[in-house]
Structure 1
Amino acid sequence: MKTVFYVVLGLVVLTVAVVQVLAAKRERDAEAAFPPTGQIIDVNGVGVHVEQMGTGPDLVLIHGASGNTRDYTFVFADLVKDRYRVTILDRPGLGWTEQIAPQHRSAWTTAHATPTQQARLLKAATDQLGVDRPIVLGHSFGGIVALAWALEFDDLAGVVSVAGVANPWPGELDWTYQVNGSAWGGGLMVPLLSAFVPESYIDNAVSGIFAPQSAPDGYTAHVGPALILRRASMRANARQVNWLRPHVVEMSKDYGSISVPVEVVHGDADTIVPLDVHSAKLPGQIEGANVTVLPGVGHMPQHTHPEAVIDAIDRVAARAGLR
Structure 2
Amino acid sequence: MFVTVNGIQLYYEVAGQGPAMLLLHGNGEDHTTFDVLAKRLESRYTLYMPDSRGHGQSSPVPHLTYDEMAMDMAAFIRQLGLEKPVVLGFSDGGIVALLLACRCPDLVGKLVVCGANRTPKGLRAGTRRAIRLANLLHHSDKLDLMLQQPHITDKMLGAITAPTLVLAGEKDMILPQETRAIARAIPGARLLVLPGEDHGSYVEHSDTVWLAMKPFLTGR
User: C-alpha separation between the residues in 2 aligned to 1:257 and 1:51?
Assistant: 30
Q: 1:149 aligns with which of 97, 100, 112?
A: 100
Aligned-pair CA distance for 1:308: 4.3
SS for the counterpart of 1:259 is coil
Distance 1:313 1:251, change over 3 A: farther
Q: Deviations over 1:103-150 (max 9, x none)?
A: x52xxxxxx332221011122123222222011111111111100010
Taking the aligned partners of 2:19 and 2:134, their CA distance within structure 1 comes to 42
- 1:239 corresponds, among 144, 163, 169, to 144
Q: Contact conserved, 2:131 with 2:147, CA < 8 A, in 1?
A: no
**Whole-Å Cα distance in 2 between the matches of residues 44 and 254 of structure 1?**
23
Task: Give, in whole Å, the separation in 2 of the partners of 1:72 and 1:96.
Answer: 15
SS, match of residue 93 in structure 2: helix
Q: Which runs of 4+ in 1 moved over 6 A?
A: none
User: In the alignment, which residue of structure 2 is the partner of 1:28?
Assistant: none
After TM superposition, the structure 1 = structure 2 runs for residues 12-23 of structure 1, keeping only pairs within 5 Å, are: none
Instruction: Answer yes or no: is 1:287 the counterpart of 2:192.
Output: no
Larger mean CA deviation between 116-125 and 169-178 belongs to 169-178
Give, in whole Å, the separation in 2 of the partners of 1:67 and 1:268.
Answer: 22
Aligned length: 215
TM norm structure 2: 0.85
User: Is the contact made by 1:177 and 1:241 (CA closer than 8 Å) also made in structure 2?
Assistant: no
> For 1:64 and 1:157, how far apart are their aligned partners in 2?
21
Mapped partners of 1:305, 1:116: distance in 2: 28
- 1:228-279 Cα deviation digits (max 9, x unpaired): xxxxxx73312221211xx33x444421121211102211122x223x1332
Question: Within 5 A, what are the aligned runs for 1:132-147?
Answer: 132-147=83-98
Question: Which of 162, 175, 194 is 2:114 aligned to?
Answer: 162
What is residue 78 of structure 1 aligned with on the other side? 39
Of the candidates 293, 296, 299, which is equivalent to residue 196 of structure 2? 296
Shift of 1:83: 0.5
Contiguous gaps of at least 5 residues in structure 2: none
- Aligned residue number for residue 216 of structure 2: 315
Matched, 1:42 2:4: yes
Deviation at 1:313, TM superposition (A): 5.1
Structure 1: state its 5+ residue gaps. Answer: 1-38, 106-111, 191-233
Q: Secondary structure at the match of 1:269?
A: coil
**Greater fraction of residues in strand:** 2
- Partner letter of residue 265 of structure 1? L
Supply the distance in 1 between the matched residues of 2:214 and 2:116 (Cα, whole angstroms). Answer: 15
Match in the other structure for 1:262? 164
- Return the letter of the residue paired with 2:20: D
Shift of residue 69, structure 1, vs aligned partner: 0.7
Cα distance in 1 for residues equivalent to 2:154 and 2:95: 10
AA at the equivalent of 1:66: G
Q: Secondary structure at the match of 2:70?
A: helix
Alignment-derived partner of residue 212 in structure 1: none
Instruction: State the alpha-carbon separation in 2 of the partners of residues 252 and 94 from structure 1.
Output: 29
Match of 1:64 in 2: 26
Asked if 2 retains the 8 angstrom alpha-carbon contact of 1:262 and 1:316, the reply is no
Q: Distance in 1 between matches of 2:214 and 2:100?
A: 16
Higher mean alpha-carbon deviation, 154-163 vs 144-153, is at 154-163
User: Secondary structure of 1:123's match?
Assistant: helix
Q: TM-score, normalised by structure 1?
A: 0.60
Does the 8 Å CA contact 1:47/1:97 hold for their aligned counterparts?
yes
